[in-house]
A and B are shown apart, each in its own frame.
Chain A
Amino acid sequence: MCNCSCNAEPALSEKDRRLVELLNKYRTVPGALIPVLQEAQEIYGYLPAEVLQKVARELQIPLAKVYGVVTFYSQFHLKPRGRNIIRVCLGTACHVRGGAKIFEALQKKLAVEDGETTADLRFTLESVACIGACGLAPVIMINHDTHGRLTPEKLTEILSKYE
């Protein structure tokens, strides 16, 4: 008999363990689906199909409904995301002050379209409607940092700060 544990229950990864805890916390809370998905996404970085299946099973909500909610809200993601998330504001004030030019320049520079991730998973590029920093238009957010009063020339230096 070998000593390996190939027949034993596969050990739960740290992430899976946290998901179980999360589901236990919300099991009896009405209307919990959205906060559960939000916290699950924080654990995994995105929402893989297996996680959606598990959430549906454990909360006793049809998978179709879970999928419907995930695809309704822009905050949920079904694919892995980059290490750094760039959100380009295309709100009114930024639009008026040239936000679209910033967005185009970033698309060319990173060679990705809206919502896509670079092949090396370094950046995900997204457009957003307004991040409420209109006084500094045009603005982008990279992760939690807001960069304002931008011009296309400033982008190279800013991007170089994020690995």
Chain B
Amino acid sequence: MRDFSYLRAASVEEAINAAALPATMLLAGGTTLLDLAKCGVADPERVVDISHLTGLDTIRVDGEGAFIGALAKMSRVAVDAAIQQQFPAVSEALWQAASAQIRNMASIGGNLLQRTRCAYFRDPATFPACNKRSPGSGCSALEGVTRNHAVLGGSDACIATYPGDLAVALTAFDAVVHLGERSVAIDDFFLLPGSTPNREHAMQPGEMITAITIPTSVAARHSTFIKVRDRQSYEFAAASAAVGIAFEADGKTISDIRVALGGVATKPWRARGVEDALRGRAFEPEAVKQASRLAIEGAIDHGANHYKIELAPRVVERAILKTGAMA
């Protein structure tokens, strides 16, 4: 047995204290941790079970925004009527994520922290070189099969794609990740790999996601999430886009637009270039097409993932056109 100690935390405070110890991982839905333990990537010395803690699965929507407890299940958030009404892109992203079984188990906090599907990351026995697993060991993907790897936000150390869908929608609508007393804007929560791809987010040892909030906005209310993938269910995005739009009173001029990309970048990718190009402009298909190309500014491909550079702007364009027609 690979032995580890197991602590069933009695409170958030106890969980946080325990999580401060080295080589400690929190266990919520278990869909990522158990998977990674089986393939030899996760090898914690201590597992702190928080799955049973009460009061952390609240889903509440009011005039200010949405409050989603870290232990709320993906499937419950997806079907929440107020989320569907105020933040349709969030619900749609959850519906299209993972499988029904995983959505029923996985927590919202854990969902944000899911690890990449990079095949080299997930097979340590065959591919010892992985800067994300072992800093400084190299990257097996750079010269390998890169069809699913990132074209945005990569570095010489890592091109692993952030795999999630929900975080893409949250990034579009300026969600905030609450770490107990501290809170971090979601765009700052996820880190670019740079030279430290082992650091994926801004959490410090002893911190734990307790909730996510999403501020209410007209754009969030008029939003959509489009996910393009090889298979129609239970599959990660080849490219995805979360888009929200608000119009001026004339019903034509874009007053607010939010665009974020998934499946193509090392972190949930806010496409501010697209937003800046369209904000204040009239909603018009040719302008949308032109602006959508800005989504992949700075993209670098590694051969097999070149198609993502072609695909991502088309997904953005489709999502903007669809959202604009609804708004």
**Do the two chains belong together in a single complex?**
no
Query: Which residues from chain A sit less than 8 Å from chain B, CB to CB?
Result: none
Query: Which residues from chain B sit less than 8 Å from chain A, CB to CB?
Result: none
